[in-house]
Chain A
Amino acid sequence: DSGVTQTPKHLITATGQRVTLRCSPRSGDLSVYWYQQSLDQGLQFLIQYYNGEERAKGNILERFSAQQFPDLHSELNLSSLELGDSALYFCASSSSSGIAGTGELFFGEGSRLTVL
């Protein structure tokens, strides 16, 4: 168990809808990362928050947004969903503001989103 909790584990919705994925990082970790994993693209970095502030942005679509709350949990909001948004969404956490030391990120078990 990595200590990172993600909910929901599975989500099925329709095109055009909006969903929110939730992540609780490991106790004491200030950084939260969101990744999207699809069969053809692998693990793609979406966005990073550190202690409530956006720190880095990757290949995140404008239809997607995220935030990190004062209690350090994070939410990833996906709107106007398309079939191609079907994927596994992972949250990861680390204690530092960026990748340092061993480069270790602690991943949750992911939220599987299916858009029909």
Chain B
Amino acid sequence: QKEVEQDPGPLSVPEGAIVSLNCTYSNSAFQYFMWYRQYSRKGPELLMYTYSSGNKEDGRFTAQVDKSSKYISLFIRDSQPSDSATYLCAAFGPQDTGRRALTFGSGTRLQVQP
């Protein structure tokens, strides 16, 4: 079983829709959760970062972590064609600091249709 699981999609939505992207994880030691965005033929770039449980909002993006159910979500409001990309969730925990790198999900490909 992978430590971070993610539905690969693809997920196709019309412009303006609310998008919900989700991950589950199995390692209860994870405390830091991130969403990376990867455009085609590019490397991933950090989009959102959350520590422990709770919500974090940044413009049209909201990241949500529920540690009790080991569930990570990213919501995109008023989705735009420019949001079309692969979204990867990632996590790490205290034991990873200085010892290992981020554990990534396999990514969900999102297509926003104009």
Contacts and interface: CB of A to CB of B under 8 A. Distances in A.
Secondary structure dominating the interface of A:
loop
A97 interface: yes
Interface of B: 2, 6, 32, 34, 41-46, 49, 88, 90, 92, 96-107
B106 A107 contact: no
Contacts, number: 80
Contact of A99 (B32, B104, B107): B32
A99 B101 contact: yes
B103 A45 contact: yes
Given A56-B99, A58-B100, A58-B101, A103 B34 contact: yes
A43 interface: yes
B43 A103 contact: no
Contacts of B103: 45
